[in-house]
Amino acid sequence: MKLLFATNNSNKLKEVQAKLPHFEIVSLKELGVTEDIPETGNTLEENALIKARYLYEKFNLNCFADDTGLEIEALDNEPGVFSARYAGEEKSAESNMAKVLEKLEGKTNRKARFRTAIALIANGKETVIEGVVNGEILTKKTGTEGFGYDPIFKANGFDISFAEMDMETKNRISHRGLAVDKLVDALKNK
């Protein structure tokens, strides 16, 4: 089955392709779509649906879109739906991490979770799936792998950040990995 994935993020694409080897995953770039699809929703689920509906209407292809947020307990679940542009519209991972570390300075509660919502539209039917990984925010960046907030997030049960994990381990336990596992199950039932 061919599936359009609403992303131009090569890191996300690699993570998803590793989980869906029996599907032909087509990125926005392959279809010549370079514009950002507006994310005007108030929740991750709404943003994922907005993107999936936009693509389904434009290309009439089975598709899925995701939206991911980092939710930090001591910051009233910020940055949440604004995770990508937490420090500004330029969507700088470095600036976003610096803002989080600055806001958490001196705080002992560093509990956080990554949450991914995936909206799938297959044969006109919409399904929304969620994946969550709980953990904490480190006091400084560690590791060079991954992307986004990975260098400052450590999942519960692990002694290293997401940015220090190999892709196979991260895909097995991450919010996106868990959501994609549920996506695979949903696709099997289509």
The CATH number assigned to the domain holding 78 equals: 3.90.950.10
Count structural domains, the chain: 1
Q: What is the pLDDT of residue 190?
A: 61
- Determine the structural domain holding residue 136 and report its residue range: 2-188
Average pLDDT of the chain is 92
Q: What distances in angstroms separate CA 144 from CA 14, 108, 117, 149, 165, one per listed residue?
A: 16, 25, 25, 11, 9
Dump pLDDT digits (tens) for 4-36. Answer: 999 888 877 887 888 788 889 999 988 888 877
Residue 67 is among the residues annotated as catalytic for this protein: yes
Work out the average pLDDT over 54-72.
94
Q: Tell me, what's the pLDDT at 102? A: 97
Q: Which range has the top average pLDDT, 84-88, 135-139, 177-181?
A: 135-139
Residue 39 pLDDT class (50, 70, 90 cuts) = confident
Whole-prediction pTM value? 0.89
Q: Is the pLDDT of residue 187 over 90?
A: no
- Tell me the mean pLDDT in the region 92-117: 96
Task: Give 91's pLDDT tier (boundaries 50, 70, 90).
Answer: confident
Query: Considering 67, 159, 166, 185, which one is annotated as catalytic?
Result: 67
Tell me what pLDDT residue 152 has: 97
| Measured CA angle at 151 (ends 20, 21), to 5 deg | 5
Q: Please name the residue ranges forming H helices in the chain.
A: 10-19, 44-59, 93-104, 167-173, 175-188
The pLDDT score that the predictor gives to residue 133 is 97
**What pLDDT shows up at residue 18?**
82
Structure tokens belonging to residue 64: 């899925």
